[in-house]
Structure 1
Amino acid sequence: MTSTGHPLTDNDDQSRALLLELVGGIEPWDSLERVHLKTAAQWIAGGAPVYRVHKPDVPAMHLVSYFVVLDDTRGQLLLVAHRKAGLWLPAGGHVEPGEDPWAAVVRECREELGIHATASPITGELPLFLTVTETRGQGAHTDVSLWYLLTADADTITSYDQDEFNAIRWLTDEEVLEEPDELLDPHMHRFTHKLQHARTGRHQAASHTPLQRAEGS
């Protein structure tokens, strides 16, 4: 189900409209995300299959939900060492046929990290970022990935899916940006910059009283 209460099915015009609304609500961070958002919207509107039905690459382009877990108190993000990709990535997975992307986040968070997915107040149950990425290796395909932001205390994550991941790490924004590109998801640095901007804007808004906002408007 979507946050609006409508079920998703792959060939339903209404479900495609809801996905288009979701994609259309993402403000592009840079010119590349603007291109990716346009690509995703054209793909959804064009009637192509959206969900993966056979591992690893059928159809050759399909929908993924990433989720970046943020411990806002410590200012740290969770990355996982993905066995198949050989990269440090956010957790997440493929959206199942008929599944809402946020529901995929809830399911994958429980399966991969053993915790309930709690949406960050920065974004709510909406994606912050979108990427279109060609995967590497056998069964190469294209992931259209919606990046969600969750909030959690790092101490509550005590286990992870060892079939999927070799390890997990908590890193500050600065530590993520210091990691070599070739060790991370190719868009991780861009996402981190966008997240920094979103967090800064939220903190600035919280530091102003309604009177100050009125005076400055």
Structure 2
Amino acid sequence: MGTPDFVVELRKKIGHDHLWMPGVTAIVVRDVPAGAPLGATPKILLVKRSDNGQWTPVTGIVDPGEDPDVAAIREVKEETGLDAKVEALLGVGAVGPTEYPNGDRASYMDTCLRLSVPEDAEPVVGDEESTEVGWFEAMHLPVTNPRLRMACGDAVAQLRHPEGFETRIGWHKRGQPGRTAY
């Protein structure tokens, strides 16, 4: 879908000035099927972004009045053609600032969620935001962004051990220098 209409309208008024916006990261995980070979790991759905050529989970901007879980499901559908279901909240935290190739600057309050899709669902490139889409073994992700690699790891950890999962996104334990627990 590209840049949401409300952002386009804001940019007409403020140009490339820094914007603070709600964002969502949708990490779609496919668990290891029964009978898979020993050592098989869950797979994660990734898109290759058309703006910078990087492989990432599905990300997007939350529209005005839209809840993050609804935005995550919408973004997965738009970018991959798949109908997803939200399974877990992985964390909420600040991301950015980011400067885009056109000069726009933004930071996000990002909600990171783990999602699932039907077992046999196969993705397609759904819009101009991506050039490729595919499933990747969690142990061999082409994701280079450290925050997104950590989020993918957290998605698998939460899937495998939900009762002991502790988020690393947007939550900092007491005693860490310069950080406050809420």
TM-score (norm 1): 0.57
The question of 1:110 aligning with 2:110 is answered no
Match of 1:70 in 2: 29
Match of 1:134 among 78, 81, 97: 97
**Contact 1:52–1:59 (CA<8 Å) still a contact in 2?**
no
- When Rg is computed on C-alpha atoms for both structures, the one with the higher figure is 1
TM-score (norm 2): 0.66
Matched position secondary structure for 2:155: helix
In structure 2, relative to structure 1, the CA distance for the partners of 1:52 and 1:184 (3 Å cut) is: farther
Match of 1:171 in 2: 136
Match of 2:175 in 1: none
Match of 2:149 in 1: 189
Richer in strand (by share) = 2
Match of 2:161 among 183, 193, 201: 201
- 2: distance between equivalents of 1:192 and 1:159? 20
Matched position secondary structure for 2:161: helix
In structure 2, relative to structure 1, the CA distance for the partners of 1:141 and 1:52 (3 Å cut) is: farther
Matched position secondary structure for 2:6: coil
In structure 2, relative to structure 1, the CA distance for the partners of 1:203 and 1:130 (3 Å cut) is: closer
Deviation of 1:59 after TM superposition, in Å, equals 6.3
**Contact 1:52–1:62 (CA<8 Å) still a contact in 2?**
no
**Contact 1:80–1:169 (CA<8 Å) still a contact in 2?**
yes
**Contact 2:18–2:105 (CA<8 Å) still a contact in 1?**
no
Higher RCO (C-alpha 8 Å, min separation 6): 2
Matched position secondary structure for 1:73: coil
Richer in helix (by share) = 1
For residues 165-191 of structure 1, the C-alpha deviation after alignment (integer angstroms, 9 at most, x for no partner) is 011131122112xx4xxx533412211
Matched position secondary structure for 2:46: strand
Matched position secondary structure for 1:99: coil
Match of 2:6 in 1: 53
Deviation of 1:149 after TM superposition, in Å, equals 0.9
**Contact 1:52–1:97 (CA<8 Å) still a contact in 2?**
no
Match of 2:173 in 1: none
Percentage of identical aligned residues: 21
- Tell me how many residue pairs correspond in the alignment: 144
In structure 2, relative to structure 1, the CA distance for the partners of 1:64 and 1:58 (3 Å cut) is: farther
Give the letter aligned to residue 108 of structure 2: D
Unaligned runs of 5+ in 1: 1-50, 205-217
Unaligned runs of 5+ in 2: 34-41, 165-182
Give the letter aligned to residue 107 of structure 1: R
In structure 2, relative to structure 1, the CA distance for the partners of 1:117 and 1:152 (3 Å cut) is: closer
